[in-house]
């Protein structure tokens, strides 16, 4: 990672660089040439999640940890406030690792794992019967 000050002429306009991403005053650029304009960094989707963590999760060539690092530096450098929706945006978009493999191996989007289901009445008791576990009992004694 290279981090340059705003007035550092030795970096040639580069504010930050890691193995994949370069940050300049114009925006964030991947080594493939993929470019995110500075003014677009704070874009949101309908559900108010940050657009870029979700969008970049769709790119097989994007290394999530390097994008996250560069994106967060860009927000800080350009004075874009982080909010409560930023962490969920990364979690839903980029996901979690299932195991110790590389990014392509064992990488599962959180949205693929977490799908809320309605709980049917008595479901806990039925599950306990199948698994042999006891359900909690409330004692009438005080």
Residue 44, SS3 per DSSP: strand
Confidence band of 58 (pLDDT split at 50, 70, 90): confident
Q: Is the pLDDT of residue 3 over 70?
A: no
Buried b (16+ CB within 10 A) or exposed e, 97-125: eeeeeeeeeebebeeeeeeeeeeeeeeee
Q: Which two tokens stand for residue 72?
A: 């967060």
**What H or E segment, with its residue span, contains residue 29?**
strand 27-30
Q: How confident is the model at residue 137 (pLDDT cuts 50, 70, 90)?
A: very low
The pTM for the full model equals 0.61
Q: Which has more confidence, 62 or 109?
A: 62
The residues spanned by each domain of the chain are 2-116
Average pLDDT of the chain to the nearest whole number: 75
Range from 43-47, 103-107, 109-113 carrying the lowest mean pLDDT: 103-107
Please state, in angstroms and rounded to a whole number, the distance separating the CA atoms of residues 6 and 55. Answer: 28
Residue 6: the pLDDT is 46
């Amino acid at each position: 990672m290279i981090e340059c000050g705003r007035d550092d002429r030795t970096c040639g306009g580069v504010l930050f660089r890691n193995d994949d991403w370069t940050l300049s005053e114009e925006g964030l650029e991947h080594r493939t040439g993929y470019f995110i304009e500075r003014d677009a960094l704070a874009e949101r989707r309908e559900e108010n999640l940050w657009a870029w963590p979700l969008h970049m999760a769709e790119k097989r060539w994007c290394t999530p940890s390097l994008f996250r690092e560069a994106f967060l530096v860009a927000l800080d450098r350009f004075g874009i406030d982080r909010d409560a929706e930023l962490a969920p945006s990364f979690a839903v978009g980029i996901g979690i690792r299932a195991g110790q493999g590389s990014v392509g191996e064992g990488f599962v989007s959180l949205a693929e794992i977490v799908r809320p289901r309605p709980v049917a009445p008595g479901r806990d008791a039925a599950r306990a019967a199948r698994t042999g576990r006891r359900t909690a009992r409330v004692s009438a004694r005080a």
